Amino acid sequence: MSATQTQARSSTLVQRMKRISPLTIVVHLSVLLLVIMWTIPTFGLLVSSIRDKDQLAVSGWWTALSSSEQNLIARTNAPSTQVFENGVYILKGNIAPEGESVEVLAFGSSSQDPSAFEPGTTSTLRNGNTLNVETNGDYVFSSEKEFTGSRGKRIFYQAVEKPRWTLDNYREVLSSEGLGQSFINSLTVTIPATIIPILIAAFAAYALSWMQMPFRGLLLAVVIGLLVVPLQMSLIPLLRLYNEIAMYFGVGAKSYLGIWLAHTGFGLPLAIYLLRNYISNLPREIIESARVDGATDFDIFRRIVLPLSFPALASFAIFQFLWVWNDLLVATVFLGNGDEFLVLTGRLRELLGSRGGNWEILTASAFVTMIVPITVFFTLQRYLVRGLLAGSVK
Amino acid sequence: MDQIYSALLTMSLGVAGCILYFWGSNWLLGIIFPFRGQSHEQAARNLRIASSVRPWLFLGPALFFLFLYLVYPVIDSLRLSFMGRSGEEFVGISNYVWLFNDPEFQESLKNNVLWLLIVPAASTFFGLIIAALTDRVSWGNIAKSLIFMPMAISFIGASIIWKFIYDYRPTGSDQIGLLNAFVEYLGFEPQAWIAVPFWNNLFLMIILVWIQTGFAMVILSAALRGIPEETVEAAVLDGANGLQIFFKILVPQIWGTIAVVWTTITITVLKVFDIVLAMTNGQWNSQVLANMMFDWMFRGGGDFGRGAAIAVIIMVAVVPIMVWNIRNAQAQMEDR
């Protein structure tokens, strides 16, 4: 690089530095602060879900990286291993649990005072025995009398406990807490409940955009009105209807078919609204010229409209997917709480009741329910934003 | 796994059924009203009939679902709200009389008003601020994406996230909830936040604000970008400062969008029950209408009359927004 280039570059840097006013710094810092405020709850959950459950229960997740001091108890080797040297009986060994290492901060011989002695000092206990524990956990316990009994003597000590990370929480919730089954149930509900309404809505949107028919304005107004009808209004009548139909056919009222159709019905107003907005804005010339060429409405829809509306279809699909996956109300009412029907949100609610204090279960479970929608969100965000912008009634 | 296969199978059947319906009905129409090989008048007539029937074939399934799952239930809920607990016998307005004398309902109503005042206002406010700020930094898109992310999380998942933040341990032991740790760090007493009447409502609302701010931000950010540059440039030339430009030039130009965001969040607030169900289930004076309705649907085997009456109250709150939406959309369509 030549000197002039370097000079030029440094001068632009200086200029840039000058342009960064205090206000810009404030803007950057406030955005940073807001981002931290918005992400820290989820981040805390994620960190907690991979912590050891004993550590999770006693310390905040923000301390997860630092070691903590703990009072612990160990036992010496059994008296049968004692050796007789220089007139005293000696027990030797290491207090660390099998396969682990410890960092001893202090030790003692009674539970009242586990930090009586510094590591590395040979201390005389009340009964005349001596005990020395090194920082690495090596201990020497000596007595003038022979050690008796079958169990080792207790040593109380304070040690640094290193942070422990584990995937055990996930292993547990996926198998024994039934989250694996619920994951499959959720997929079973979500995939058909996303795809069925798209097809129905696309045809309807095409008819409302490009076909000559009476009451078009009225129908559109109805669809827009139905966009905001609270789900609560639908639940009781539909539950009764489902029960009657099930009774008539002699089957259970809770079924996957029932919830697919329910989600189809509830998702249709948004689907029709979104797709109509998009389809009615397709260039008129394309559709007219296809008509002139003798294409039927069915052909136009299949060959021209459907491929061109891919962005709108994708937007709605993501919406519906997120909504159905995250829904608790419709699933509870139309599927119930049977094990073969319980979706992730329902399972989460149940765990919140039964395992309310077990944060290792709750955090890992919550993360399992979030992983799919968050992946969908980050990979397909573009379509989601586009759908939001088109979907809010302006 | 079998379940997934059977779901996929049913889905393929469903999709195939849909396609068969649309294609088959179209084909049938061509058979019944042929226009080839007919006399001129006959062909013209058949063509006219077919093209007036066809839209209804396309719309048919959609209209069926909309009617069955939304229109009919609204009417039936209205009817049921005048019926007894099993929905069989007519009881007049006694459900409503009971409702307005029920302390739990009064408390829910009061709380819902609080939710309706605070959540849309706070979400829109934060959304607007964040939209304006992130447009000014180079990494704004990443920031937006992270703030938008809670939208993808279920209400119940979000409730667990925040319940963990509000977690309470008695004084003396280490706090594992972020809020109490912070409160202790500042030198105050830790609290069981979600069990403190009145204030717990605010702690529940924070969850919804956390989720909805991203939505407000995305819409408002697009609106801010759509503002013509000239108006801002003119204001700069006239010597307006940043705050003046924001509040006097930018915000007035996006009032329409702010109203849209506000009403959309208002509707979400009216429908949200998962958060209350998961956090308190209405204990400690934190009940809201949607959760109370859910509760009565199943309480003691389910009281359909009372449940429907509460649903109707929620619906009544939505109707003004509904009318406003329809009028807006119609005005917009006439503009085109």
B73 shares a domain with B112: no
- Closest CB from A24, A345, A394 relative to B156: A345
Element holding A139 (H helix, E strand)? strand A138-143
Residue identified by tokens 């807001």 is A34
Domain assignment present for residue B196? The answer is yes
Alpha-carbon gap: A68 to the closest alpha carbon of chain B (Å): 12
Taking phi first (over 0 means left), then psi (-120 to 50 degrees means alpha), and beta for anything else, what does residue A143 get?
A: beta
Q: What is the pLDDT of residues B106-128, one digit of tens each?
A: 999 999 999 999 999 999 999 99
Boundary residue ending a domain (B58, B80, B102): B80
B255 shares a domain with B319: yes
pLDDT at residue B334, rounded to an integer: 73
With beta carbons under 8 A apart, name residues in chain B contacting A40: 178
Alpha-carbon gap: A310 to the closest alpha carbon of chain B (Å): 17
User: Nearest Cα to B274, choosing from B151, B115, B117, B160?
Assistant: B160
Mean pLDDT across A281-303: 87
Q: Is the pLDDT of residue A68 over 50?
A: yes
Domain assignment present for residue B105? The answer is yes
Q: Is the pLDDT of residue A40 over 90?
A: yes
Q: What is the pLDDT of residues A336-376, one digit of tens each?
A: 887 778 899 999 888 888 887 788 888 999 999 999 999 99
Alpha-carbon gap: A108 to the closest alpha carbon of chain B (Å): 24
pLDDT at residue A18, rounded to an integer: 55
- Closest CB from B133, B176, B311 relative to A233: B311
The amino acid at residue B309 is A
With beta carbons under 8 A apart, name residues in chain A contacting B151: 322, 377, 384
- Closest CB from B51, B69, B314 relative to A266: B69
Domain assignment present for residue B88? The answer is no
CA distances to A261, A357, B39, B155, B196 from B284, in Å:
37, 19, 79, 20, 7
pLDDT band at A15 (very low <50, low <70, confident <90, very high): low
Closest residue in B to A23 (Cα) is B242
Q: What is the pLDDT of residues A151-187, one digit of tens each?
A: 777 888 877 777 788 888 888 888 888 888 888 889 8
Boundary residue ending a domain (B80, B103, B127): B80
Pick B87 or A90 by higher pLDDT. A90
B137 shares a domain with B164: yes
The Cα A67–Cα A163 span in angstroms is 6
Interface check B202 vs A, CB under 8 A: no
B145 shares a domain with B212: yes
Kindly list the structural domains of chain A, giving each domain's residue range(s) and its CATH number in brackets, ordered by start.
22-65 (no CATH), 68-161 (2.40.30), 170-391 (1.10.3720.10)
Pick A127 or A281 by higher pLDDT. A281
Alpha-carbon gap: B241 to the closest alpha carbon of chain A (Å): 12
Domain assignment present for residue B123? The answer is yes
Domain assignment present for residue B232? The answer is yes
With beta carbons under 8 A apart, name residues in chain B contacting A217: 330, 333
Closest residue in A to B293 (Cα) is A232
Report, as ranges of residue numbers, the positions in chain B whose pLDDT lies below 70.
1, 37, 300, 335-336
Interface check B51 vs A, CB under 8 A: yes
Interface check B330 vs A, CB under 8 A: yes
Interface test with A, best of B153, B179, B225 (most A CBs within 10 A): B153
Alpha-carbon gap: A370 to the closest alpha carbon of chain B (Å): 6
With beta carbons under 8 A apart, name residues in chain A contacting B65: 197, 200, 261, 264-265, 268
Q: What is the DSSP string of B62-104?
A: HHHHHIIIIIHHHHHHHHHTTB-TTS-SB-TTHHHHHHHH-HH
Average pLDDT in chain B: 87
B118 shares a domain with B47: no
B240 shares a domain with B129: yes
CA distances to A227, B264, B265 from B260, in Å:
13, 6, 9
The Cα B79–Cα B305 span in angstroms is 9
Q: Is the pLDDT of residue A5 over 60?
A: no
Q: Is the pLDDT of residue A19 over 70?
A: no
Beta bridge partners of A384: none
Q: What is the pLDDT of residues A229-287, one digit of tens each?
A: 888 889 889 988 998 998 888 787 788 888 999 999 999 999 999 899 888 888 889 88
CA B293 to chain centre: 17
Q: What is the DSSP string of B155-184?
A: HHHHHHHHHHHT----TTSPP-SHHHHHHH
Q: Where residue B134 sits, what CATH number does that domain have?
A: 1.10.3720.10
Boundary residue ending a domain (B22, B51, B80): B80
End-to-end CA distance of chain A: 55
Domain assignment present for residue B86? The answer is no
User: Quick one: how many helices (H) and strands (E) in chain A?
Assistant: 16, 8
Contact B69 A220 (CB under 8 A): no
With beta carbons under 8 A apart, name residues in chain A contacting B22: 203, 298
The Cα A235–Cα A325 span in angstroms is 18
CA distances to A141, A280, B49 from A113, in Å:
18, 80, 97
Instruction: Give the structural domain span for B46.
Output: 2-80
With beta carbons under 8 A apart, name residues in chain B contacting A236: 73, 76-77, 80, 87, 297, 304, 307-308, 311
Angle between helices B2-32 and B40-66 (to 10 degrees): 150
- Closest CB from B3, B277, B328 relative to A394: B328
Closest residue in A to B12 (Cα) is A192
Contact A240 B304 (CB under 8 A): yes
Interface test with A, best of B5, B58, B244 (most A CBs within 10 A): B58
B173 shares a domain with B106: yes
Q: Is the pLDDT of residue A4 over 60?
A: no
The amino acid at residue A328 is L
B115 shares a domain with B31: no
Domain assignment present for residue B199? The answer is yes
Q: How many domains does chain B have?
A: 2
B188 shares a domain with B230: yes
The Cα A133–Cα A94 span in angstroms is 9
Interface test with A, best of B54, B137, B156 (most A CBs within 10 A): B156
B139 shares a domain with B26: no
B112 shares a domain with B73: no
The amino acid at residue B160 is I
Q: What are phi and psi of A110, to 5 degrees?
A: -130, 155
With beta carbons under 8 A apart, name residues in chain B contacting A303: none
Alpha-carbon gap: A88 to the closest alpha carbon of chain B (Å): 44
Q: Is the pLDDT of residue A302 over 80?
A: yes
With beta carbons under 8 A apart, name residues in chain A contacting B308: 236
User: Nearest Cα to B270, choosing from A10, A232, A57, A50?
Assistant: A232
Rounded CA Rg of chain B: 27
pLDDT at residue A1, rounded to an integer: 43
- Closest CB from B62, B134, B270 relative to A268: B62
DSSP-derived 3-state class of residue A125: coil
Closest residue in A to B1 (Cα) is A184
CA A59 to chain centre: 21
With beta carbons under 8 A apart, name residues in chain B contacting A29: none
pLDDT at residue A109, rounded to an integer: 74
The Cα A122–Cα A165 span in angstroms is 35
pLDDT band at A17 (very low <50, low <70, confident <90, very high): low
- Closest CB from B63, B133, B154 relative to A345: B154
Contact A269 B8 (CB under 8 A): no
Interface test with B, best of A43, A229, A299, A335 (most B CBs within 10 A): A229
Domain assignment present for residue B89? The answer is no
Contact B54 A211 (CB under 8 A): yes
B228 shares a domain with B306: yes
Element holding A104 (H helix, E strand)? strand A103-108
